């Protein structure tokens, strides 16, 4: 007997590592938000205000979950200075914890530079 039933999706689906849903370091809320973010296209811009509009949970909950994802290295936010000298935030989301990617060891800067060159 089948207890888990899946459709045979041929379009409009995302392949995501099972490790995300099994990561006990993440709350159910963080797992859900991460899965939501990973369904977006690679060039989708993650804005906190847009995420807040997508849920009934509210701003504080979204902020807490984003921090949880950052603390577990699934998400990195960097501050960017624009041409007009105004700052904005850029968010990068990953489907696995980026253990070796941090500001302290300059790996993040190398990663960001390699993405900018593409």
What stretch of H or E contains 89? strand 87-93
CB 93 within 8 A of CB 33: no
Cα 74 to Cα 9, 54, 82: the distances in Å are: 26, 20, 25
3-class state of residue 88 by DSSP: strand
Position 112 pLDDT exceeds 70: no
Check: pTM over 0.75? Answer yes or no.
yes
What's residue 102's pLDDT? Answer: 61
The answer on pLDDT for 26 being more than 90 is yes
pLDDT value of position 40: 92
pLDDT band, very low/low/confident/very high, at 2 (cuts 50, 70, 90): confident
**How does pLDDT run across 49-92, given as a tens digit for each residue?**
899 999 898 999 999 999 999 999 999 988 888 889 888 888 89
Cβ–Cβ under 8 Å, residues 73 and 98: yes
Go through the domains of the chain in sequence order and give each one's CATH number.
18-117 (1.10.10.10)
Bridge partners, residue 87, by sequence: 81
């Amino acid at each position: 007997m089948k207890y888990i039933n899946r459709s045979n999706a041929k379009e409009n689906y995302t392949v995501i590592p099972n490790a995300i849903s099994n990561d006990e370091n993440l709350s159910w809320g963080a797992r859900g938000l991460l899965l939501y973010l990973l369904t977006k296209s690679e060039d989708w811009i993650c804005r906190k205000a847009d995420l807040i509009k997508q849920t009934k949970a509210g701003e504080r909950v979204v902020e807490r979950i984003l921090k949880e994802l950052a603390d577990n290295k699934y998400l990195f936010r960097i501050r960017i200075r624009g041409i007009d000298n105004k700052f904005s935030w850029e968010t990068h989301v990953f489907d696995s914890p980026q253990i070796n990617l941090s500001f302290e060891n300059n790996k993040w800067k190398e990663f960001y530079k390699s993405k900018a060159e593409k």
